[in-house]
């Protein structure tokens, strides 16, 4: 019994010593934190972190509304509808293909933005307003090349804004919706051109089946393998991807 009490007393004394040591260490750390001089660029670093997090939160919107992703995704959706295979390729595969095609097309623009705006800003050689002006220039040039003048004029009339003197005077809040409108039109035009050959195959198959009196047989049962076979024989994916990339000049 006495030995057990001695063991418990020793354990309690060790706990008290460790507790007092932790308190002393915490007090020392607290004293250092209170008495230490904060770094001079703490505020600038915090602003950079906030700007970076804001950019990450806006990344999906920028990808959809300011890059080549929209046109590519529209055309790929038309291709799947024209083939009549609603679940093949899966939506995840088409989205991944559109994403990496967008990265390949937008790589020169991204390189210019990094060299002219992001890297100097992170190095502290330029301020945020100058970095925004330098970074938005390459993206503005890309969008202006793909935007129709009529669509841009429409949003200037809606906003009742004065006409720009040069391309650098076009604000992004007017250029982005005009760019999206133009991309939708271009995507639908390319999708229509893809849809026509497959529609001809459907009409021919339906006419042949009707002439043979096989009115109870759905035409899609016969036209679907024919369309897939023709698409594979002409190397459709290669032609489609090449046409999409070349359409951005």
- Distance separating alpha carbons of residues 177 and 88, to the nearest angstrom: 31
What are the tens digits of pLDDT across the range 144-197? Answer: 999 998 998 898 888 888 887 877 778 888 888 999 999 999 999 999 998 998
**Largest pairwise CA distance in the chain:** 108
Rg of the chain taking only CA atoms, in angstroms: 31
Residue 123 φ/ψ, nearest 5 degrees: -75, -10
What are the tens digits of pLDDT across the range 92-146? Answer: 999 999 999 999 998 999 899 888 888 887 777 877 778 878 888 888 889 999 9
To the nearest whole number, what is the mean pLDDT of the chain?
A: 78
Q: Kindly indicate the confidence band of residue 52, based on its pLDDT and cuts at 50, 70 and 90.
A: low
- Distance separating alpha carbons of residues 180 and 189, to the nearest angstrom: 14
Candidates 158, 146, 155, 134; CA nearest to 190 is 146
Q: In Å, how far from its chain's centre is CA 122?
A: 22
Q: Which residues of 117-145 are buried (b: 16+ CB within 10 A; e: fewer)?
A: bbebbeeeebeeeebeebbbbbbbebbbe
Residue 55 φ/ψ, nearest 5 degrees: -65, -40
The dihedral over CA atoms of 108, 165, 152, 192, expressed in degrees to the nearest 10, equals -50
Candidates 107, 103, 112; CA nearest to 131 is 112
The structure's pTM equals: 0.73
Helix count and strand count (H, E) for the chain: 10, 0
- State the helix-helix crossing angle for 128-146 and 172-211, rounded to 10 degrees: 30
Report helix, strand or coil for 234: coil
Please say if the pLDDT value at position 199 is more than 60: yes
Candidates 177, 195, 175; CA nearest to 76 is 195
């Amino acid at each position: 019994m006495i030995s057990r009490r001695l063991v418990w007393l020793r354990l309690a004394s060790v706990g008290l010593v460790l507790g007092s040591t932790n308190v002393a260490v915490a007090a020392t750390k607290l004293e250092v934190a209170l008495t230490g001089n904060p770094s001079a660029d703490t505020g600038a670093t915090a602003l950079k972190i906030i700007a970076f997090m804001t950019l990450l939160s806006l990344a999906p919107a920028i990808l959809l509304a300011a890059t080549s992703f929209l046109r590519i995704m529209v055309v790929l959706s038309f291709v799947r509808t024209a083939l009549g295979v609603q679940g093949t390729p899966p939506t995840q595969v088409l989205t991944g293909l559109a994403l990496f095609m967008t990265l390949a097309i937008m790589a020169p623009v991204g390189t210019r933005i990094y060299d002219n705006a992001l890297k100097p800003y992170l190095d502290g050689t330029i301020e945020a307003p100058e970095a925004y002006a330098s970074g938005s220039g390459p993206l503005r040039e890309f969008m202006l090349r793909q935007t129709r003048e009529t669509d841009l004029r429409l949003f200037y009339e809606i906003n009742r804004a004065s006409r720009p003197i040069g391309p650098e005077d076009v604000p992004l809040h007017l250029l982005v919706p005009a760019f999206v409108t133009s991309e939708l039109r271009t995507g639908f035009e390319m999708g229509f051109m893809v849809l026509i050959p497959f529609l001809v195959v459907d009409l021919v198959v339906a006419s042949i089946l009707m002439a043979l009196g096989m009115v109870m047989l759905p035409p899609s049962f016969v036209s679907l393998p024919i369309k897939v076979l023709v698409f594979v024989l002409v190397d459709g994916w290669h032609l489609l991807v090449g046409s999409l990339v070349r359409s951005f000049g």
